Each structure stands twice: as C-alpha cells, then as structure tokens.
Chains A and B, each alone.
Chain A
Amino acid sequence: MKIILKTALASMLMLFSTMGTFAEPLTYALKVDGLACPFCTFGIEKQLGKINGVDKLSTDLDSGVVLMTMKNGVLLDKTKAEQAVEQAGFTLRGFDKIKTPSPKTNEK
C-alpha cells in the first residue's frame, strides 16, 4: 500500500513538474545578419510569424536580435527559424533559448 502511495505521489510530482515546464512560454533569441533598416524588420517578422506556435515577436535593430516567444508548450525548431530568416533574405547567425523554466526542459 505504501509503495502504491509513494508511486502515486511521485507520479503527481512529475506531472506537476511537467505542467510547470509547459505552462511557461519559451523565448528564443535569433541573431540575424543583414538587418539594417525598419522595413527589413517588418519583412523578417512576417516570415518568422508564419511558423506555427509563434506568440510574439520583437526586434532590436541595433543588436540585430529578434526575440521569438512561443505559445505554451511549443518548441521552436532551429531549422524552421533558419529557413524563415533565409526566405526574408537574411542569415541566421545565432539561435539561443533565453528563458528556461526548468532544468528538465528538453529542446529540439
């Protein structure tokens, strides 16, 4: 009986832990080469916005970084981000996950 209770408790803890992981959206920092003007920014955000699961995009032109916040539980595939940046005419130089809710989170 004790074993069953311990197992159930451990399972619940694991479940809550997982829920916590997916409850908080992930944000990625994309370092983009070639960005040099406001209209370029609009173009690249339009291409990145086509990726499924994107919740919010914001760009810092000076540093050439686009922040992509994904919807809850959605991970960003680096290859898809790279393709979107290429289609806008630019080059992906860096791809970093900047918000990590839990050490157990796995990234694609």
Chain B
Amino acid sequence: MRIRHSFLLLFAVAMVFLSQNIVAWGAPITFNTALPVAKDEFLIRQQFILGQSGKDFTAAERDVSTQSVVSILAYGINSDLALFAALPYVNKTLKLTMNSARLTRSTRGFGDMTFFGRYTIYKNNFKGGNFRIAPFAGIKMPTGNSRNRDSFGQLPASLQPGSGSWDPLGGIVMTYQTLSMQVDTQISYKANMTANGFEAGDVSRMDSSLQYRLWPKSLSGGVPGFLYGVLEMNLIHQGKNKINAVKDLNSGGTRLFLVPGIQYVTRRWIAEISVQLPIIQDMNGTGLENDYIARTGFRFNF
C-alpha cells in the first residue's frame, strides 16, 4: 500500500514538474492513442469525466454515477516511439433498493494506471497534412484499491477504484490530418485478468474521430487558433464477467456511442468538451445501460 501511494505521489509530482516543459497537441477527445509526440517532448492532458447509468428496470433500481479526473502524460523517445501513462482518480456512487430501503454505497481513490507505448510504422508527410499508422501495446496496472469496504461490507468489483489485475492491451491507430480536418481511427483489445476471484470481461473497441475546422474558415497567414467541431464514435464490446470462474450472465454487452464535441486549439493551450450519447446498448441480462458520459479537458503548452 505504501509503495503504491509513493508511486502515485511520484507520478503526480512528476506531472507538475513536467508541466513546465509541455507541448500540447490536438487529438480525439475520447481516446488517447492518437496523441502525436515529438522527440524529447512531454505532453500532458487532464480530463474531467461524468458518467451516469440509471435506467434499471429491476427491483433494485440501481443508479450509478461516476466522477473521474484522468491525467495523461506522454513522452517522445524519438519521432516514432512514444510512451504514455494514464492515471484516473475516481469517485463512484451506487444507489439501490434492497428490502424496500434505499441504500447508497460509494468509494473514491486513485484507479488503475495504464502504461502503453506506440510506434509509428508508416508516416507520409505532405504539404498541409500527414497520414500515420501506429500500433500500440501496454498494460493496465493494479494501482487502484480493489478491496474497498463500507458499512455493508466489501464493495462489488464494479464499484472498486481498481481491478486488482494486470491487464494487457494492444491495438492500432491511424491518423489522417489536413489543415481543414483530422480523422483518427483506432482498434484496440484489452484482455482482463483475474483478481480477488473476479475477472472482468475482455474489452474490444473501435473508435473514430472527425475533427473539422469551423473557424477560421480560411487561413490568411501566421498561426491562428483553430475551433474544431468534433464528432466521434465509440463501438465497445465487453465479454461477460467471471465470478470464481463462473460467467455472470448479467454482465457485458455491446454499446455504440455518438460523441459530439468542440475543441479549441491554440499554440499554447487546448480546451475541449464532449458528451458520449448511447445510440445502441445491447447489454446482457440485467446489465446496466449508460445514460451519458460527459467529459471536458484541457492541455497546456509551456
């Protein structure tokens, strides 16, 4: 426990220190793998995420709300290889009805840190644009607490800040960028492992992002700030969870989100806001559906 807290403290201190020499880049809002990083440069991104799931038609009338602050730090080893770290701080609240009484269970704390590396295998720079293909691979580390308790006992796995498991992940991301628009697409897979008798279902997803320059409509010299209209899509499939090696039939499923948003990009800072709206939710059994996921974030150049 002490080692984990020291590690997290070191990460936080390092981010404050590194923010003195940061270069910010544009990229999709709902995924981080497309963030381009130059050699010897650092990038920091801070996102605030609100999630709400409350459409439960069972007698439990479950309502889950989450508030997260996610810090992303990236470093360019060279122009092709970049390393990324993402650390969330989460606050989760579950309200449910049990024996005619309405109960509230909640937890907060640092979640699991994800490390991954990305290597650009194909790059085509042309006048006013570029195209890149880059596979990535990494691991989600069990830095978050996975055995939090409240007055009712140990909290369910879905409510814990961390999973307790080491989960490998990988994928590939493609970026096509011109002066007027940018398109990013990634395909990824995360294999969730077992911890504390619980194994979350593996997650496969396909994400796409279109960022279209709304302002200025035409460029007339220099480097003006860009206002992008953003439209993203997240197709996420999660397998069934396993509890003591037995599949939970009320878990996992497929979700499709449409994500409108806005991003303002200058040389020194970037601000962004979006909301993930569920279009299709095919959840298994009584699995809870999402109402929305809203996120806002910023980046700074120093």
Contact = CB atoms under 8 A, between A and B. Distances in A.
B223 interface: yes
Contacts of B270: 39
A56 interface: no
A33 B126 contact: yes
A37 B25 CA distance: 9
A38 B225 contact: yes
A86 to B, nearest CB: 6
A60 B125 contact: no
B178 A39 contact: no
A34 B125 contact: yes
B123 A89 contact: yes
A36 B182 CA distance: 9
Interface residues of A, number: 28
B26 interface: yes
Contact of A37 (B123, B127, B265): B265
18 contacts: A33-B126, A33-B130, A34-B130, A37-B226, A38-B265, A39-B265, A43-B23, A43-B41, A44-B38, A59-B222, A60-B221, A61-B179, A61-B223, A62-B219, A86-B79, A89-B36, A90-B125, A93-B127
Interface residues of B, number: 36
Contacts, number: 96
Interface string B33-50: 000101111000000000
B39 A38 contact: no
Given A62-B220, A64-B128, 13 more contacts: A33-B126, A35-B128, A38-B224, A39-B25, A39-B301, A43-B38, A44-B38, A46-B23, A60-B223, A87-B78, A87-B79, A88-B38, A90-B130
Contacts of B86: none
Nearest to B24: A39
Interface string A64-94: 1000000000000000000000111111010
A105 to B, nearest CB: 28
Interface string B267-292: 11010000000000000000000000
Contacts of B23: 39, 42-43, 46
A34 B267 CA distance: 16
